[in-house]
Structure 1
Amino acid sequence: MTVINAEKAILGRLASEVAKRVLRGEEITIINAEKVIITGNREWILEKYREEREKKNVANPRRFGPKFPRRPDDILRRTIRKMLPYKKAKGREAFKRVKVYVGNPLNLQADEGLGTEKENTPYIKELTTNKYITLGEVSKHLGAKF
């Protein structure tokens, strides 16, 4: 099992790397999901997530859907799932090997002696801009309570 501290990791880079590794058979646990960053214009990002969240099913006006997550751990899991062949058996099995947590509820730094490899994200690029927003801020804007 690999523990990844997602603090200051870029969402897309982290999700693509995790997707590749779980397809190879690794079990991955991600902590500090609320500290993942999304680069770009803050207003544009918030509008994009709000639009995605408020989509309605056009076919049946009485039914709302599809449902989109609000919490940062669920948003990160959904992003990873989009990068897997989820409709095939190998994609579903790979997705079961991903665990994502807000903060560090299981105190996973202490598990180093149990065959756990603790890893600081190599997916962090040095940010040269201040145009970014954290996943926790996006979640609070969507109304999440975590």
Structure 2
Amino acid sequence: MIYINAENHIYGRLSAYVAKQLLQGEEVTIVNASKVVITGKRSYILDKFNHRRDIGSVRKGPYYPKTPDAILRRAIRGMLPVKTSHGLEAFKRCTVYSNIPKSLQNNDFIKVDRAININATGFITLGEISKILGEVNEQ
């Protein structure tokens, strides 16, 4: 069982690391998904997420998530072969939380060194994206 504190981790690099661990049979729990960062120009990132949300229809989809934990979980799902039984089982071993739940506060969390953000500027967090997309559930 791997516990990851995702605070100040880069979205894509963290997702790739977690997908690889899941395919190797590990169970992965990620906390602080609202503090994961996406590097790049803020306006471009927001336009990209708003464009994804506007594709399709309400009845037919595609359905893009608005909460930080669901956004990160969808990115991980995109890196797994979920149309096969092996990939689907791997995806089920992934758990993502927006914050640190009380039941997990006593665990030792790791940080993925190659996924840590070192930029002082030029990024936006999943929590900020979630607020802009219209998620009203704040914990």
Fold agreement, TM-score > 0.5: yes
- SS of the residue corresponding to residue 126 of structure 1 reads coil
Report sequence identity in percent: 49
For structure 2, which runs of at least 5 residues remain unmatched after alignment? none
**Whole-angstrom CA distance in 2 between matches of 1:18 and 1:139:** 21
Where does structure 1 differ by over 3 angstroms across 4 or more consecutive aligned residues?
none
In the alignment of these two chains, the number of paired residues is 136
SS in 1 for 2:25: coil
What whole-Å deviation, never above 9, does each CA across 1:32-78 have from its counterpart, x for those lacking one?
00000000010010010001011115xxxx84421110000000000
Does the residue aligned with 2:107 lie in a helix, a strand or coil? helix
Q: Which amino acid aligns with 2:131?
A: K
The one-letter code matched in structure 2 to 1:17 is: Y
Aligned match of 1:68 in 47, 56, 64?
A: 64
Q: Which has the larger radius of gyration?
A: 1
Matched to 1:39, the amino acid is T
Question: In the alignment, which residue of structure 2 is the partner of 1:97?
Answer: 93
State the distance in 2 between where 1:98 and 1:136 align.
20
Aligned to 1:111, the other structure's residue is in SS state coil
Match of 1:115 in 2: none
Instruction: Name stretches of at least 5 consecutive residues in structure 1 with no aligned partner.
Output: 113-117
Q: Provide the residue aligned with 2:21 in structure 1.
A: 21
Considering only aligned residues, what root-mean-square deviation do their CA atoms show, in Å? Answer: 1.5
Distance 1:9 1:24, change over 3 A: same
| TM-score scaled by length of structure 2 | 0.92
